[in-house]
């Protein structure tokens, strides 16, 4: 399930290749078909993405701004579109539901900082050109490949937060409260 986006990108590339090849073989302009298909696919995705988040899911779109949450706040499945900026989430006093809650980020260059109390499992899945993650002092980097990392207590925790970062460049820092 984590690699589903790679399958879709592969399918899209194959379909575009088939259209371009057919255009060369049968002497028609494939571009006249590709742009409308792109618009239809984009519109369908925009309509259906709310359903993919579930009934409590939220979508936030910001271009050049920092997003910060601390104190008493409700953690819900969320999609955050942040072109360039920082995302600071303090989960110390947050209300985290039982089970796994997914926070998905999309952006160009993002810095994500999490403050996580004991007893909360954290999972990271970064799909970026360049990824760097520091979780409780341990550092891991990836270039041109996904970065997957879970806290040591992830499987045992009843409340979990999964961060899915889909960026060009992302730096994630996870630490305990001081």
Q: What is the pLDDT of residue 34?
A: 72
Q: What is the pLDDT of residue 2?
A: 47
73-99 burial by CB neighbour count: b if 16+ within 10 A, else e? eebbbbbbebebbebebbbeebebeee
Q: What distance in Å separates the CA atoms of residue 116 and residue 158, rounded to the nearest whole number?
A: 14
Q: What is the pLDDT of residue 64?
A: 83
Q: What is the pLDDT of residue 145?
A: 86
Q: What distance in Å separates the CA atoms of residue 41 and residue 7, rounded to the nearest whole number?
A: 16
Place of tokens 């988040």: 53
Label the pairing between strands 138-143 and 78-90: unpaired
Q: What is the pLDDT of residue 111?
A: 95
DSSP-assigned beta bridge partners for residue 19 = none
For the chain, domain boundaries: 4-53, 58-175
Q: Please give the chain's pLDDT, 178 residues, in tens.
A: 445 666 677 777 788 888 788 878 888 777 777 777 777 777 777 677 666 666 667 777 777 888 999 999 999 999 898 889 999 999 999 999 999 999 999 999 999 999 999 999 999 999 888 999 999 999 999 998 889 999 999 999 999 999 999 999 999 999 999 8
Contacts of 94 (CB under 8 A, 6+ apart): 69, 72, 73, 74, 75
């Amino acid at each position: 399930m984590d690699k589903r986006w790679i399958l879709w990108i592969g399918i899209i590339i194959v379909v575009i290749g088939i259209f371009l090849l057919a255009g060369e073989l049968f002497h028609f302009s494939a571009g006249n078909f590709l742009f409308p298909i792109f618009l239809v696919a984009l519109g369908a995705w925009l309509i259906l993405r709310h359903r993919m988040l579930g009934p409590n899911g939220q979508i936030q779109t910001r271009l050049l701004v920092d997003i910060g949450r601390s104190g008493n706040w409700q953690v819900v499945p969320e999609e955050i579109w942040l072109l360039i900026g920082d995302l600071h989430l303090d989960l110390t006093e947050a209300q985290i539901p039982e089970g796994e809650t997914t926070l998905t980020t999309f952006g160009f260059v993002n810095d994500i900082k999490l403050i996580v109390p004991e007893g909360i499992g954290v999972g990271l899945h970064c799909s970026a050109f360049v990824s760097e993650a520091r979780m409780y002092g341990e550092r891991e980097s990836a270039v041109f490949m996904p970065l997957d990392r879970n806290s040591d207590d992830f499987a045992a925790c009843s409340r979990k937060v999964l961060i899915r970062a889909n960026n060009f460049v992302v730096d994630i820092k996870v630490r305990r409260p001081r």
